Amino acid sequence: MTSTAPELVHHHRYSNGLVLVAESIPGVQSAAFTLLIPAGAAYEAAEDLKIGGGAATMIAEWIIRGAGDRDSREVLSALDNLGVSHGESAQTLHTSVSAATLGRNLIPALEVFADIILRPHLDEDEVEPIRALCTQTLRSLEDDPGTKVIFELRRRHFPEPWGRPSPGTLEGISGLTADDLRRFHRAAYRPNGAILGVAGAIDWPLLRDAVGRLLGDWEPRPEPRLPEQASGPLSDHIVRETQQIQIAFAFPSEVVTSPDYYKARAAVAVLGGYSSARLFTEVREKRGLCYSVYSTYESQRDRAAALCHAGTSTDRAQETLDVMSEEIRRLARGGIEPDELETMRAGLKSSLIMAQESSMSRSSGLASDWYFLGRVRPIEEISAELDRLTPESVSAHAATFPDAAGITMLTLGPTPLRWPR
């Protein structure tokens, strides 16, 4: 297994609060970075903003359309000439700016992105085309009910604003003005709280100095205050005249800093995290109730959840939900078999090793680790934690899974369902 030796991982905090975390990966020619800016959809609800949903996503599209002394076409041409593959997107917690290129082009690429972050043009002429794109994305969700039901499940499960879907709402997008968007950019795009993860073929002293030169004058701003409100309802239905019913539900799990984090990840994976997991086996393979069924884990700093989903025909939807709920109860009652644990462990280790071999995945992992833990986990630590899991320890955690009272359920389709008693 590839080592993440301490001497290969470096970090530096600049005076404006920006944190740089970097890892040299021997033997690769590429380099990648992931910049997490605390400017996700949740910040649309900040006390001094309170603007329509979708602002974070519109800004992520806007900043790339002209920056510094380059217009929109020149920005994209500069990145193309450097061989940069890049993406800008808003999630609930962060706006993420990421890029990958050859190691020798890393700092020139960062120079372009420094303009994008600090000196975007934010020309008013670009607002309507961006609004049209974001509106099209929202409308396409109506043709993707599986994705829509998960967005809406998060909104009901996590407290407001931490469950806000990053695409926003049609009402929010349609009402946003250029001045609204600029206000959001001024308030939310700040270095204090931002994390830049870089991985691949890097020269640490050169990189540290270059980032300081390029982003060191990024002016810190006060952290926006986010009033938290209760979520809910715990059980809800979205009426759609569709051929299928989408079933989605969530229940609380352990955050990344919890001593039971790895047990929680293992239990959720055994439930429905791979193709021979219990939900897949019982719901799809044995009964043929649906094609796709899964469970996944999602964490924020202060809360985490297991999310489960299935899409099935209307006449078999209640049976599908009945079997899914019974699998949760069976996991809580009956424990986990040694072979299930070994399958889960092999899958997580394989994905971990593959992520280490990609500079882009690793840059994202560095930024994520620093956000959640304030440090970078060596791969040996993660591997040891996975090896420490036993059927008994994971079973004990699965026994804490809630029943109906602790579950948020959402269905989408012609008729609502009921959670089995």
Residue 312: C-alpha distances to residues 284, 294, 320, 412 (Å):
10, 13, 7, 11
Q: What is the pLDDT of residues 323-353, one digit of tens each?
A: 999 999 999 887 789 999 999 898 888 887 7
Mapped onto helix, strand or coil, the DSSP state of residue 26 is coil
Annotate 368-420 with DSSP letters as a single string.
HHHHHHSS---HHHHHHHHHH--HHHHHHHHTT---GGG-EEEEEESS-----
Question: For residues 72 and 10, is the Cβ–Cβ distance under 8 A?
Answer: no
pLDDT score of 85: 97
- Pull the structure tokens for residue 101: 């290129």
Domains along the chain with CATH numbers: 7-215 (3.30.830.10), 235-413 (3.30.830.10)
- Pull the structure tokens for residue 357: 């071999």
Mapped onto helix, strand or coil, the DSSP state of residue 357 is coil
Annotate 165-178 with DSSP letters as a single string.
-TT--HHHHHH--H
Nearest Cα to Cα of residue 321 among 346, 290, 281, 362: 290
Nearest Cα to Cα of residue 408 among 161, 53, 41, 163: 163
Annotate 310-353 with DSSP letters as a single string.
EEEEGGGHHHHHHHHHHHHHHHHHH---HHHHHHHHHHHHHHHH
Neighbours of 92 (CB within 10 A): 21
Nearest Cα to Cα of residue 45 among 37, 36, 54: 54
pLDDT score of 4: 52
Give me the residues of the chain with pLDDT under 70, please.
Answer: 1-7
pLDDT score of 417: 95
End-to-end CA distance of the chain: 46
pLDDT score of 253: 96
Ramachandran sector of residue 83 (left: φ over 0; alpha: ψ -120 to 50; beta: rest): left
φ, ψ for residue 161, nearest 5 deg: -100, 15
Total residues belonging to the chain: 421
- Pull the structure tokens for residue 75: 């920005």
Annotate 203-255 with DSSP letters as a single string.
-HHHHHHHHHHHHTTPPP-PPPP---B----SEEEEE---SEEEEEEEEE---
Q: What is the pLDDT of residues 246-282, one digit of tens each?
A: 999 999 999 999 999 999 999 999 999 988 899 999 9
Mapped onto helix, strand or coil, the DSSP state of residue 298 is strand
Q: What is the dihedral of CA 302, 219, 14, 166, to 10 degrees?
A: 30
- Pull the structure tokens for residue 420: 């089995």
Mapped onto helix, strand or coil, the DSSP state of residue 120 is strand
